[in-house]
């Protein structure tokens, strides 16, 4: 029985306290940590002093290391018998190119495991006090990407279906294409008055919530100079949001309130 040599670990969104106990344990045991850009960087201090930390972070306009090189690096390190933690922001199975990396590791015959994490959609919903589903109002929730890995608005999406869907829509990486995403939805019949929020830097100390009707959310986000990463949530349950940030602290543990813009 061989132990996994590569552990794909979800670090959760910006807040280092949102990693799982298992993720933290594996991080502490790793010989090599290969991490993306969008992880809470203070987590890296949890690796043991002798561990090698490799940043393969990609920003929308700057690919630090091409995917194929990341794959090669993981395989090379694990082949030497070193325990690799491949640390990804959020959850590894959601918009994190896990399939490609698993394929590379499995093709090399290396034992691996996937440790799930808190994905940005639910962390953003938690911050805004929104339930993504609700009986009779939102029986489904869809996760989609606003932009692809090159920063372009995703054209492959079935926009008419997304516009019609009865439940909640969450767009990851929603900043760059926000106006296009909203316009694709609204011109195909989604109600511009539907409540929406854009949540910037989910989980981080600088997180912000911008709330507005869907038809106005892109303008409000632009005025607020929202930057990546951010998540757009739109749907009937957003109306039911009872923002915990409304006049109250939400994170007594850190002594800071997120900044709120709009609504």
Residues 121/172, Cβ–Cβ less than 8 Å: yes
Query: What 3-state DSSP class applies to 92?
Result: coil
Give the separation between CA 189 and CA 253, rounded to whole angstroms. 42
- Residue pair 90/119 in contact (Cβ under 8 Å)? The answer is yes
Instruction: Quickly count: other Cβ atoms within 10 Å of residue 2's Cβ.
Output: 6
Closer Cβ to a copy of itself, 62 or 253, answer by number: 253
- Rounded to the nearest whole angstrom, what is the least distance from the CB of residue 147 to a copy of itself in the complex? 11
26-45 positions binding a copy of itself, by CB under 8 A: none
Please pick, from the candidates 64, 164, 205, 223, the single residue that binds a copy of itself as defined by CB under 8 A. 164
Strand 52-55 versus strand 112-115 pairing type: unpaired
Q: How far is the CB of 162 from a copy of itself (least distance, A)?
A: 8
Q: Give yes or no: 55 in active site.
A: no
Site for a copy of itself in 116-145 (CB under 8 A): 116-119, 122-123, 125-127, 129-136, 139-145
Q: What tokens does 236 get?
A: 């009937």
The one catalytic residue among 36, 91, 158, 219: 36
Q: By CB under 8 A, what part of segment 8-27 binds a copy of itself?
A: 8, 10, 12, 15-22, 24-25
Can residue 102 be called a binding residue for a copy of itself (CB under 8 A)? yes
Token couple for 4: 């996994």
Residues that contact a copy of itself, how many (by CB under 8 A): 81
Judged by CB under 8 A, the chain residues 201 through 240 that form the site for a copy of itself are 237, 240
63 by Cβ neighbours in 10 Å (0-12 / 13-18 / 19+) ranks as middle
Smaller CB separation from a copy of itself, 180 or 219:
180
Radius of gyration, CA atoms only, the chain = 19
Confirm whether 88 is a catalytic residue: no
**Residues with catalytic annotation?**
36, 58
């Amino acid at each position: 029985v061989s132990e996994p040599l590569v552990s794909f670990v979800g670090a959760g969104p910006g807040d280092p306290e949102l990693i799982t106990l298992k993720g933290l344990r594996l991080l502490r045991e790793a010989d090599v940590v290969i991490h993306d850009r969008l992880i809470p960087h203070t987590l890296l201090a949890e690796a043991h002093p002798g561990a090698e930390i490799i940043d393969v972070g990609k920003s929308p306009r700057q690919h630090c290391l091409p995917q194929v090189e990341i794959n090669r690096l993981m395989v090379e390190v694990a082949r030497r018998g070193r325990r690799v933690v491949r640390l990804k922001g959020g959850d590894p199975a959601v918009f994190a190119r896990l399939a490609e990396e698993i394929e590379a590791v499995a093709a090399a015959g290396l034992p691996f495991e996937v440790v799930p994490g808190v994905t940005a959609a639910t962390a953003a919903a938690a911050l805004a006090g929104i339930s993504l589903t609700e009986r009779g109002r939102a029986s489904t929730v869809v996760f989609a990407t606003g932009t692809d890995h090159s920063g372009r608005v995703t054209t492959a999406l079935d926009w008419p279906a997304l516009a019609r869907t009865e439940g909640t829509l969450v767009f990851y990486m929603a900043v760059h294409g926000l106006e296009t995403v909203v316009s694709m939805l609204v011109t195909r019949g989604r109600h511009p008055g539907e409540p929406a929020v854009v949540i910037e830097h989910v989980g981080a100390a600088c997180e912000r919530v911008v709330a507005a009707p869907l038809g106005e959310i892109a303008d409000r986000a632009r005025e607020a100079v929202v930057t990546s990463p951010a998540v757009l949530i739109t749907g009937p349950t957003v109306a039911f949001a009872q923002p915990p940030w409304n006049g109250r602290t939400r994170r007594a543990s850190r002594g800071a309130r997120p900044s709120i813009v709009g609504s």
